[in-house]
Structure 1
Amino acid sequence: MPRPKTKEQLFKLSRGNYKKLIDLIDSLPVEEQRADFPEGTMNRNISDVLAHLHHWHLMFLDWYYVGMKDEKPEMPASGYSWKSLPDLNKKIWEDYKDMELDDARKLLRESFDEVQKIIQRHTEKELFEKKRYRWTGSTSLGAYLVSATSSHYDWAYKLIKKATKSSPFVT
């Protein structure tokens, strides 16, 4: 499905890609769910990937709540710029690298639900009108939501699929 341009598309694709990701994880044997990926990825296992998604939800939620008070959120995070995303993502990985998979799943589900409430709370115009909110700059709230949800879940799905493709657990 192309990048969402309506509230219905955003809601459907964000929920659909989340479900697709969780279904993929659930389809793997428990041993594979907890196994490390082959060398070459910063996120070393499924727990790392889910914690990464969760943290990006939290960052979005912070931007949203600060921005909706007509204040300027620190984006992407305090001490980081969009050009230093690799450093930020490494910090996120370091912060969560010892988290158990069940805990990462729970946190992701909770933050996912919070982000979904924001999608539901807004009209289509509020979501997709560019420059509507000062904090979103020249883009729309919906563009940020697409990045924090459906696009990010698709990235996670592809990463996990690739990392588990050569697994001895997959039949």
Structure 2
Amino acid sequence: MPRPTTKPDLIKAANEQFKKMWNLIDAMTEDEQNATFNFDDASNQKEAHWKRDKNLRDVFVHLYEWHQLLLNWVKSNQKGIQKPFLPAPYNWKTYGQMNVEFWEKHQYTSLNHAKDMLKESHAGVMQMIDGFSNDALFAKGSFPWTGTSTLGSYCVSATSSHYDWAIKKIKRHNKTYGEARKG
């Protein structure tokens, strides 16, 4: 699926990927949903998330926290409170530690609560997106606080692209869980 460059494509991609992710989850047994990930085969993967996220809850709260980053960033800047997307002291070279802090923050969040949080935050992001015109989302320079990027590109990253990331993790979990059960 090509990266969305219009509001209708953004809405469609975000909702389709979100639904695709939930269809995968809904097809899983309760044991599969609660199981610890076994990504030992990912030891050669350079991305830290393969070791960081231990279960579905971790994936859900990661998505939720990135929704919160987007929502808070947009809300603050719309109110005239200049705020970068990533909170201090993080930047695009150090945000991995922020992701670890999100992970640590939610170690006592239940899977069911994480599901509810994610569904609610997705709805909030979609409502926020709906409030912007196509030009506001995708015309460069619409907002000084988006820098050289567009608001829509941040929205794509926090929705459809991030859901695609989650889908890949869930599929890998389903595969490794199934292989382990066959033994």
Q: Could you tell me the TM-score, scaled by structure 1's length?
A: 0.94
User: What is the match of residue 44 of structure 2?
Assistant: none
User: What is the match of residue 124 of structure 2?
Assistant: 114
How many residues align? The count is 171
Aligned-pair CA distance for 1:160: 1.3
Q: Distance in 2 between matches of 1:170 and 1:7?
A: 43
Matched, 1:156 2:166: yes
Aligned-pair CA distance for 1:119: 1.3
- The answer to whether the 8 A contact 1:67-1:135 is kept is yes
User: What is the match of residue 64 of structure 2?
Assistant: 54
Q: 2:93 aligns with which of 61, 80, 83?
A: 83
User: What is the match of residue 25 of structure 2?
Assistant: 25
Deviations 1:6-29 (Å, cap 9, x if unpaired)? 111000000000011111111111
State the one-letter code of the partner of 2:128: I
Q: 1:170 to 1:120 in 2, by over 3 A?
A: farther
- The answer to whether the 8 A contact 2:84-2:145 is kept is no
Aligned-pair CA distance for 1:170: 8.0
- The answer to whether the 8 A contact 1:28-1:170 is kept is no
* 2:93 aligned counterpart, secondary structure: helix
User: Percent identity among equivalent residues?
Assistant: 37
Q: Distance in 1 between matches of 2:148 and 2:181?
A: 44
Structure 1 stretches of at least 4 aligned residues deviating more than 6 Å after TM superposition: none
Q: Distance in 1 between matches of 2:112 and 2:142?
A: 38
Aligned-pair CA distance for 1:41: 2.3
State the one-letter code of the partner of 1:92: F
Root-mean-square deviation (CA, aligned residues, Å) is 1.6
User: What is the match of residue 6 of structure 1?
Assistant: 6
User: What is the match of residue 97 of structure 1?
Assistant: 107
Mind listing any 5+ residue stretches in structure 2 that lack a counterpart? Answer: 41-49
Q: Distance in 1 between matches of 2:87 and 2:80?
A: 17
* 1:74 aligned counterpart, secondary structure: coil
Aligned-pair CA distance for 1:78: 2.8
Q: Distance in 1 between matches of 2:51 and 2:175?
A: 14
* 2:177 aligned counterpart, secondary structure: coil
Aligned-pair CA distance for 1:77: 1.7
Q: Distance in 2 between matches of 1:3 and 1:41?
A: 27
- The answer to whether the 8 A contact 1:57-1:148 is kept is yes
Q: 2:52 aligns with which of 42, 63, 66?
A: 42
